[in-house]
Amino acid sequence: MSTSQTDETSFVHWMRDASPYIRAHRGHTFVVHLGGELVADPLFPQLVQDLTLLAGIGVRLVVVHGSQPQVSARLAAANLEPRFVGSGRVTTAEVLARVKDATAAVRFDIESQFSHATRVRPLGTTPLRINGGNYVMARPAGVVDGIDLEFTGDVRRIDGRAISQQLDIVDVVLISPLGYSPTGETFSLDALDLASAVAIELHANKLILLSREAGLLDAQGALVRELTPREAREYQRREGSHQQELANAVRACQSGVERVHLLDAGDGALLLELFTRDGVGTLISNAPFDQLRQATIEDVGGIVQLIEPLEATGALVKRSREKLETEIEHFMVVVRDGATVACGALYPFVADRCGEIACVAVEPAYRQFGFGKTLLAALEQRAVTLKLEAVFALTTQAKHWFQEYGYVAVELERLPSARQALYNFQRNSQVLLKELN
């Protein structure tokens, strides 16, 4: 195959793999925080192109931008020494003038880049429309440790209704880190805090915190992929990097934002995070996989309760409590509020380089929330880690479910001979297989 054919094939595969995500994201509200440093980054045009793509597939996109480095540069040029109390800057009238100046400049750069990104477009299509306005009301942050922060403000109210209405008619709403008070004053706001306040007000599906810093790393230096808000608070206590992002992520998750992504905005990172299963950043989320873990002997009772009714209907093979106890290392569970709401197992056939996915069950009240899918993905990931090349499942009632996740019906002969020997012809299960690559 020539290079261009290989490129075309991988493009086709990529499009197909991305299509479920395109469907899932359409109509969802994403609030994206763009630090001022990103606007000055050489990768900024690519990033805007990726954001344009999101708007193009129907994501309701709100961008909240910062302007910290640009403000610092203007203060330095004017020989104004910034004063801080804790993390808050004292914004005098002189500083505020530079803040407005820098913020306006950043805003124009963003608007211009969005216009540029849509310059090359099929004839007859309209350019991307971006809009801003007086959506943010602010109040003075006040006196901290005896020092008046003057024109540094806190978010008082966000006009979520007006933003939502705008999103019905424009592609992107752009919000600057300034807020106005009913008394007619302008206040400088922290862009990160503002982004999470906007996401909360809009009940956003995602809050995406972009920066040029490496993602959140664990003690071994590996990227932390998923966190519950509780785990995020533990990271905060350790006083490592991303403190403010974590605080905002926890606040947003606790106030109803479904998912918060912490992401190093390297080239293409946003697309990889949003259109591939594993992503490349850190995801902070309440549900559903945040309680997904390896099962322990203490989970046997919960698993028995979950699978007994399914054994009775013939959906699952009967397993005694003793068998579960001896095989518990193969199981993973999803636990919510102390109750086992889903379970599943991977039985490796190492010599045959494959594994059996078995006993996948989700408590009826928790079905259709993606628990099954998440569990299946985790079991497949486990198989990949064990260097298995395929997984198979035997099912009487969930053939289509497996097929939707890439499994194909195969003959019994495709299974390891040891497993074929145990096949129960009376159950007449269908055999489904998925190659892992």
Ligand X SMILES: CC(C)(COP(=O)(O)OP(=O)(O)OC[C@H]1O[C@@H](n2cnc3c(N)ncnc32)[C@H](O)[C@@H]1OP(=O)(O)O)[C@@H](O)C(=O)NCCC(=O)NCCS
Asked if 398 is part of the footprint of ligand X (rule: CB under 6 A), the reply reads: yes
What would the x/- binding string for ligand X be over residues 303 to 342, using CB under 6 A?
-------x----xx--------------------------
Look at the block and give the residue holding tokens 């690519």: 46
Footprint of ligand X on residues 366-385 (CB under 6 A)?
367-373
Q: Which is nearer to ligand X, 360 or 431 (CB)?
A: 360
Question: How many residues in the shown chain lie near ligand X by CB under 6 A?
Answer: 21
Q: Give the residue from 404, 361, 358 showing the smallest Cα distance to 19.
A: 404
Biggest alpha carbon–alpha carbon distance for the chain: 85
Which residues does residue 272 pair with via DSSP β-bridges, in sequence order? none
Q: Transcribe 364-398 into DSSP letters.
A: GGGTTSSHHHHHHHHHHHHHHHTT-SEEEEEESS-
Minimum CB separation of residue 146 from ligand X in Å reads 55
Single out the residue of 157, 148, 161 nearest to residue 180, CA to CA. 157
- 355 forms part of the interface with ligand X (CB under 6 A): no
Q: Give the angle subtended at the CA of 180 by the CAs of 174 and 183, to the nearest 5°.
A: 165
Cα–Cα–Cα angle for 318, 320, 324, rounded to 5 degrees: 105
Among 29, 118, 196, 395, binds ligand X (CB under 6 A): 395
For position 280 contacting ligand X by CB under 6 A, the verdict is no
Terminal CA-to-CA distance of the chain, rounded, Å?
A: 20
Residues in region 34-93 near ligand X by CB under 6 A: none
397 counts as binding ligand X under rule CB under 6 A: yes
Residues 213-242 contacting ligand X, CB under 6 A: none
Taking contact as CB under 6 A, which single stretch among the options 47-55, 269-277, 389-397, 407-415 is the one that binds ligand X?
389-397
| Closest distance to ligand X from the beta carbon of 390 (Å) | 16
Please say whether the dihedral angle defined by the alpha carbons of residues 335, 377, 345 and 385, taken in this order, is positive or negative.
negative
Least distance in angstroms from the C-beta of 116 to ligand X: 39
The residues with which 391 forms a beta bridge, in sequence order, are 355, 434
Q: Is 415 in the site for ligand X (CB under 6 A)?
A: no
Which residue, 18 or 85, is less far from ligand X as judged by CB?
18
Cα within 13 Å of Cα(42), Cβ side: 0
Per the CB < 8 A criterion, the answer to whether 63 and 174 are in contact is yes
Report the residue number, 69 or 370, with the smaller CB distance to ligand X. 370
The residue (of 117 and 358) whose beta carbon lies closer to ligand X is 358
Residue with token string 């350019």: 127
Gap between the Cα atoms of 16 and 30, Å rounded: 23
Task: Out of 401, 414, 416, 423, name the contact with ligand X by CB under 6 A.
Answer: 401
> What is d(CA 433, CA 426) in angstroms, rounded to the nearest whole number?
21
Q: Which is nearer to ligand X, 220 or 424 (CB)?
A: 424
- Report if residue 204 touches ligand X, rule: CB under 6 A: no
Q: Distances in Å between the alpha carbon of 337 and those of 99, 132, 252, 328, 377?
A: 46, 42, 20, 21, 22
Task: Please select the residue that binds ligand X; options are 62, 232, 362, 379, rule is CB under 6 A.
Answer: 362
Examine residue 423 and tell whether it contacts ligand X (CB under 6 A).
Answer: no
Q: Between 38 and 361, name the residue whose CB sits nearer to ligand X.
A: 361
Residue with smaller CB distance to ligand X, 83 or 293: 293
70 three-state secondary structure: helix
Stretch binding ligand X (CB under 6 A), from 22-30, 102-110, 265-273, 358-366: 358-366
Binding residues (CB under 6 A) for ligand X: these are 310, 315-316, 358-362, 367-373, 393, 395, 397-398, 400-401
